[in-house]
């Protein structure tokens, strides 16, 4: 089931190539586990030197205003100088956010990373990762692991806590359970991200070219491995959540580079407590957050401080500008009239993001995220991190031509 959303009803996030909330740094190409949805090869080329990382940061500085830097990989925590990498990012005035599977994370490391300036973590946890001690677990059983990571961050304090999961045809059904779990941990979990699985198909519909040269695409890691779905849409994930939580709605999006009515990033924000969600914020709220942050700091906002997420009640002061926020305020005060004790519980803000990566259209056009926040650096240029294996292998991004044309 797919929801039909009209882009006109949502705020188009203002991110673009040179002025974006986020950039993507890969200090290593090595990983300590295997994830079926991964777009990178666990690469013996290994860890990048601090010198090279510094050069890549300089490329961001030159070409791109950025608020946060996702430090990814591979798994960044196995880089032997990860604390230094975080320090370098923080010292260049950007927010370091570690995108990790969490396997290598210890309390001691967490303290060191915090002292070096780390502002948050995005843990990738899903049931198609081959993790030691967590094999053959369902998405629901993995909530125990998610809780473990959330608790670790909460105990040290001061970190943004986000969870990523790749969504497959057979795990889509569990997404509402994860949304429900996130509500029960709204005091510790600030962002949930669901990323639809994508892979290149070698079913003969397209020929692949790097420039004028036909290439054997089977060498990249993101080849469809079996009959699993590669066409899950963000609006399908949205519909699955909405079926369980009818009040669920999104507020903002990133469109596609080729298909203007696609929702490549679909962002929702909700305000509530562990027991009750009072509602979902509207487009004006997100617009105000992005625009005011840009006016004040000269950059679009990525990953707020956990203190901000705890200020759900203050956010209601913006009700005059956002009708959905007014509704949230109304729901909250009605609930408080019925039970005044509710006035003593803190209201939290939590984001839910759905990502629909590269889509291939019938004519071979590649519909990428317009204003891609996950641009990384290769040979001094900004490139899509989700497809970096193509320039690495073929010298440039591959284009597709319908077979026989």
Q: According to the binding rule CB under 6 A, does residue 383 interact with ligand SF4?
A: no
Q: According to the binding rule CB under 6 A, does residue 357 interact with ligand SF4?
A: yes
Q: According to the binding rule CB under 6 A, does residue 372 interact with ligand SF4?
A: yes
Q: According to the binding rule CB under 6 A, does residue 300 interact with ligand SF4?
A: no
> Any residues with CB less than 8 A from the CB of 78 and at least 6 apart, and which?
28, 30, 31, 32, 104
CA end-to-end span of the chain = 33
Q: Are 230 and 213 in contact (CB under 8 A)?
A: no
Q: According to the binding rule CB under 6 A, does residue 27 interact with ligand SF4?
A: no
State which of residues 369, 377, 382, 398 lies at the interface with ligand SF4 (CB under 6 A).
369
Q: According to the binding rule CB under 6 A, does residue 385 interact with ligand SF4?
A: yes
State which of residues 123, 238, 384, 394 lies at the interface with ligand SF4 (CB under 6 A).
384
The region of 73-81, 142-150, 266-274, 364-372 touching ligand SF4 under the rule CB under 6 A is 364-372
For ligand SF4, what does the binding mask look like between residues 257 and 286, x meaning CB under 6 A?
-------x----------------------
Q: According to the binding rule CB under 6 A, does residue 164 interact with ligand SF4?
A: no
Task: Single out the residue of 197, 196, 199, 206 nearest to residue 362, CA to CA.
Answer: 206
When the beta carbons of 230 and 385 are compared against ligand SF4, the nearer one is 385
| Length of the chain, in residues | 405
Q: Rounded to an integer, what distance in angstroms lies between the CA atom of residue 216 and that of residue 68?
A: 36
The region of 84-92, 180-188, 335-343, 379-387 touching ligand SF4 under the rule CB under 6 A is 379-387
Q: According to the binding rule CB under 6 A, does residue 386 interact with ligand SF4?
A: yes
Q: Rounded to an integer, what distance in angstroms lies between the CA atom of residue 158 and that of residue 304?
A: 10
Nearest 5°: phi and psi at 260? Answer: -65, -25
> The tokens of 21 are what?
């909330």
Check residue 28 and report its DSSP letter: B
Report, in Å, the least distance between residue 22 CB and ligand SF4.
9
Phi-psi sector, 46: left (phi>0), alpha (psi -120 to 50), beta: left
Report, in Å, the least distance between residue 132 CB and ligand SF4.
28
Q: Are 17 and 293 in contact (CB under 8 A)?
A: no
Q: According to the binding rule CB under 6 A, does residue 199 interact with ligand SF4?
A: no
Which residues are near ligand SF4 by CB under 6 A?
264, 357-358, 368-369, 372-374, 384-386
């Amino acid at each position: 089931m797919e929801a039909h959303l009209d882009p006109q009803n949502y705020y188009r996030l203002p991110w673009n190539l040179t002025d974006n909330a986020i950039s993507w740094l890969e200090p290593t190409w090595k990983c300590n586990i295997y994830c079926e949805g991964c777009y990178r090869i666990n690469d013996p080329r290994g860890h990048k030197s601090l010198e090279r990382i510094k050069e890549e940061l300089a490329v961001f500085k030159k070409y791109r205003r950025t608020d946060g830097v996702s430090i990814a990989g591979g798994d960044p925590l196995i880089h032997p100088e990860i604390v230094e990498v975080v320090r370098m990012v923080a010292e260049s005035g950007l927010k370091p956010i570690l995108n990790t599977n969490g396997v290598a994370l210890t309390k001691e490391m967490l303290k060191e990373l915090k002292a070096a300036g780390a502002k948050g973590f995005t843990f990738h946890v899903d049931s198609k990762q081959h993790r030691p001690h967590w094999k053959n677990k369902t998405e629901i059983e993995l909530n125990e692991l998610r809780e473990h990571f959330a608790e670790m961050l909460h105990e040290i304090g001061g970190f943004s806590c986000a969870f990523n999961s790749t969504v497959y045809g057979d795990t889509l059904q569990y997404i509402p359970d994860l949304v429900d779990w996130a509500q029960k941990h709204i005091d510790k979990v600030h962002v949930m991200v669901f990323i639809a699985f994508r892979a290149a198909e070698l079913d003969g519909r397209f020929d692949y070219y790097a420039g004028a040269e036909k290439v054997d695409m089977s060498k990249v890691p993101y080849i469809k491995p079996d009959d699993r779905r590669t066409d899950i849409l963000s609006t399908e994930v949205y519909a699955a959540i909405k079926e369980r939580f009818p009040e669920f709605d999104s507020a903002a999006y990133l469109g596609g580079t080729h298909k203007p009515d696609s929702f490549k990033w679909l962002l929702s924000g909700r305000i509530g407590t562990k027991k009750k969600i009072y509602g979902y914020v509207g487009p004006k709220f997100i617009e105000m957050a992005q625009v005011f942050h840009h006016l004040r700091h000269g950059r679009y906002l990525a990953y707020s401080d956990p203190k901000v997420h705890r200020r759900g009640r203050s956010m209601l002061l913006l009700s005059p500008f956002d009708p959905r926020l007014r509704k949230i305020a109304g729901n909250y005060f009605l609930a408080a009239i019925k039970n005044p004790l509710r006035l003593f519980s803190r209201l939290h803000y939590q984001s839910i993001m759905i990502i629909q990566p590269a889509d291939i259209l019938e004519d071979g056009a590649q519909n990428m995220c317009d204003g891609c926040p996950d641009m990384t650096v290769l040979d001094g240029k900004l490139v899509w991190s989700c497809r970096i294996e193509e320039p690495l292998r073929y010298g440039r991004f591959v284009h597709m031509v319908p077979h026989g044309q």
